[in-house]
A and B are shown apart, each in its own frame.
Chain A
């Protein structure tokens, strides 16, 4: 239900940006941004591995600071130590961008109707309507 209407700053999406932290402070800030981001990120690790997924949790204050991520193409959870992260790219769609109540109200009626029908069609295709 719509208990909340978030004021998403439309012009501040991180989609497409890449962070290569050069200090612990920058690394923590970048991971915080990844945690707040409502889309998938691509992490480059010190091992050379690339991980794509949704960062849903982080603990910067634990003995070994780590983030938790839902991999995009695998079940389960992946836990990654902060120290293993080389770069963070905001590669996935920002699912919050353009979705605020203010953005909806500002649209033309015809556009709202079209989007509403698109959402309904997608739900119907999944068998949820």
Chain B
């Protein structure tokens, strides 16, 4: 795996502590959305579809830190909107690092090169750059020409300054597997620490059979992309999650694994669905009717295979038994084994 040993140790210690305490539901990654304002307008992105006065609202550094402390997850992912737009983002990041959180600061990288000197390289800080494919695919996905080249330039600059950098890729059914594999080659050549991939979320009211076909197509796509994996590719994700994407194993969703906090509060039930908000993390965990969500329980969950729900399921599998642990070791060392 691409993740540094210190981070792996921290996450392992955290998960084992939860298990020893008998905690049934625990968060793994806090999805902290300090604002929804963005400098792109990717078609279909629901995260930016708000009136201007809502897009102008932001979380304060104190609110961000309080959320991280309340949640207790060892990892904090900061998506948006575009987080680098937030004028107090360097302060937010410093405060999270002071609390020993591993921060994944998501960005489309348009502002990254300009703002690099506002941050200090640290084992706790990773810039997670949104890259949906090679130039043609990425610029098409973000609905603006030139963004891919800007992002590549920023990635190179960040790596040169000693920052940890990963890429974050969302793939929909129309992705070309060979082009995606070529994209992986390019990102590894750039020298990023690792890559994160996930299918996108697309909810459409449809009969069950169509949902089945959609999940089948997603698994087919990821089998073509991840089958016969090249040894040089490094994924910053659970190998069991990658096997789930390929259809090699089944999981139920773990929506509390990646709890979301934003300007509206703690979001029920997960990063993707917006079924209401509560004031405290405790209310989210203890008073949400979790049984209403997940594949087979809710139509809005029928097609979903996104990392924010299923990566935690894979991590749970790793640490729940010796066989889960040995499956993880095998998947790590022999990713192309049948």
Contact = CB atoms under 8 A, between A and B. Distances in A.
Contacts of A70: 53-54, 57
Nearest to B128: A1
Given A54-B51, A58-B276, A119-B144, A1 B39 contact: no
Interface in B57-103: 57, 79, 82, 85
A3 B306 contact: yes
A83 interface: no
B203 interface: yes
Interface stretch (A4-12, A15-23, A42-50): A4-12
Contacts of B277: 56-57, 68
Given A5-B200, A93-B51, A116-B144, A128 B106 contact: no
B39 A128 contact: yes
Interface in B182-205: 198, 200-204
A72 B55 CA distance: 11
A112 interface: yes
Nearest to A57: B277
A62 B228 CA distance: 53
B149 to A, nearest CB: 15
Contacts of B40: 119, 123
16 contacts: A1-B106, A3-B198, A3-B201, A4-B202, A4-B203, A5-B172, A5-B201, A38-B46, A54-B50, A95-B51, A103-B43, A104-B44, A104-B143, A126-B37, A128-B38, A129-B110
Interface in A89-120: 92-93, 95-96, 99-101, 103-105, 112, 115-116, 119-120
Given A40-B51, A54-B54, A129-B39, A4 B143 contact: no
A53 to B, nearest CB: 8
A1 B143 contact: no
Nearest to A72: B53
Contact of B44 (A6, A57, A68, A72): A6
